[in-house]
Structure 1
Amino acid sequence: MVIAEQLTQLRRRRGIAATALGARTGIDTSAIYAFEHGRRDPRASTATAWANGLGARLLVVDTSGRASAAEALTLIRLELAQNDRNAATQVLLQLANSLHASDPLAVAALTVDEPTERLDGWSWAVAGIVEDESDRRGLPIPAWVTNTAGVPDAAWSPWAAELADLVDVDQVPEPLRRRGVLIESGELASA
């Protein structure tokens, strides 16, 4: 997600009017709206002032070029549009691997943005993977993850439906199982 989108979401969550933000920061209200609607990109100094006016800080986090959870769902949608469920599954498993291999700050950066894609099963799996890794690391669980409930009785698997019967449910991490996703922890570890 681009910085203007993140700052816009933060401004709205905090209930701060663009005019009030402009008064706090010296950024012209029309410029704030232009940034928020994608008509202009803020310079680093403007984005820093904008963030400070919202009580936030800009931070550069090394994610080693890994796809975020939100980006992974977009990639999954693209693979499914090509009727390539195997490639979509690989994207899902790569997300698990990326989160596991990242330091805690990078995990937070890769999971903070709410995905725009809503793909039954796949969204549940991504949320479960993020919750499992965040919980394992003692990191806060993003609100979008908590709000992605899944369907506990779905018995959904990224592999062919007939293979779901072969999954040892006792080996499925609880955040996945609770959402009705059947992926064993060993599958996630070997991603």
Structure 2
Amino acid sequence: MLTEQLSRLRRRRGLPATALGARTGIDTSAIYAFEHGRRDPRASTAQTWARGLGARLLVVDTHGRASAAETASLIRNALVHADRNAAVQALLQFVNNLRASDILAVAALTVDEPEPYTEGWSWAIAGIVEQETAARDIPTPPWASETVGDPDSRWSPWAPELADLVDVDQVPEPLRRRGVYIEAGELVSA
């Protein structure tokens, strides 16, 4: 996960691995080996790599809560096993995770882009991330902002036919804009 984040940051900055190597003293072949999962960097190497990108490594206590990427994986696994209820529970638990976390933990839980699985679920996760980061007045991660959805789809995690029963005025805007029809009250933990 760490090397994936550093690799994404390097690519976002448009910095070739050779330039990063020259800047940090890390051999270019080692950078490629780290980025392709053939080797794991030592902590000191990862810190040097991050500094070379103008970033810092930070340990954030998330209290073991599932991130957006981990939640997407839980949802995918539940749906593969035809357990839509478990998928919905994972989505709702993710909302609870974010709401129970401090600002740094919210940032840590939302920074990694989930692997897309199905459009509605991906849209829901992105909408929840946008809603909860905005509520904390912290930047929404680019992956969530770029997950636009389809406002005409009227998708519901419970069942497609239930979307027509949703009070549209009660759907948070980041979800409604993506075509995800979940009322705000359904996102509140009991």
TM-score (normalizing by structure 2): 0.96
1:135 aligned residue = 134
1:37 aligned residue = 36
1:60 aligned residue = 59
How far residue 128 of structure 1 moved from its aligned partner, in angstroms, is: 0.7
**Unaligned stretches of 5+ residues in structure 1:** none
The SS at the match of 2:119 is coil
Matched, 1:185 2:181: no
How far residue 136 of structure 1 moved from its aligned partner, in angstroms, is: 0.9
Please give the per-residue CA displacement for 1:19-65, whole angstroms capped at 9, x wherever unaligned. 11111111111111111111110000000001011111000011111
How far residue 75 of structure 1 moved from its aligned partner, in angstroms, is: 1.1
Q: Give 2:162's aligned amino acid.
A: L
2:69 aligned residue = 70
Give the distance between the partners of 2:70 and 2:16, measured in 1 at CA: 29
The SS at the match of 1:133 is helix
Q: Give 1:142's aligned amino acid.
A: P
How far residue 70 of structure 1 moved from its aligned partner, in angstroms, is: 1.3
2:168 aligned residue = 169
How far residue 133 of structure 1 moved from its aligned partner, in angstroms, is: 0.5
Matches within 5 A, 1:19-168: 19-168=18-167
Residue pair 2:76, 2:117 contacting (<8 A) in 1 also: no
Give the distance between the partners of 1:157 and 1:137, measured in 2 at CA: 25
1:15 aligned residue = 14
Give the distance between the partners of 2:77 and 2:131, measured in 1 at CA: 25
How far residue 166 of structure 1 moved from its aligned partner, in angstroms, is: 2.4
Give the distance between the partners of 1:172 and 1:3, measured in 2 at CA: 35
Give the distance between the partners of 2:65 and 2:90, measured in 1 at CA: 11
Deviates more, 1:50-59 or 1:28-37: 28-37
Residue pair 1:154, 1:180 contacting (<8 A) in 2 also: yes
How far residue 5 of structure 1 moved from its aligned partner, in angstroms, is: 0.9
Residue pair 1:172, 1:182 contacting (<8 A) in 2 also: yes
Q: Give 1:47's aligned amino acid.
A: A
Aligned length: 190
Give the distance between the partners of 2:164 and 2:91, measured in 1 at CA: 20
The SS at the match of 2:63 is coil
**Unaligned stretches of 5+ residues in structure 2:** none
Q: What is the RMSD computed on CA atoms of the aligned residues?
A: 1.1
Residue pair 2:65, 2:97 contacting (<8 A) in 1 also: yes
How far residue 139 of structure 1 moved from its aligned partner, in angstroms, is: 0.8
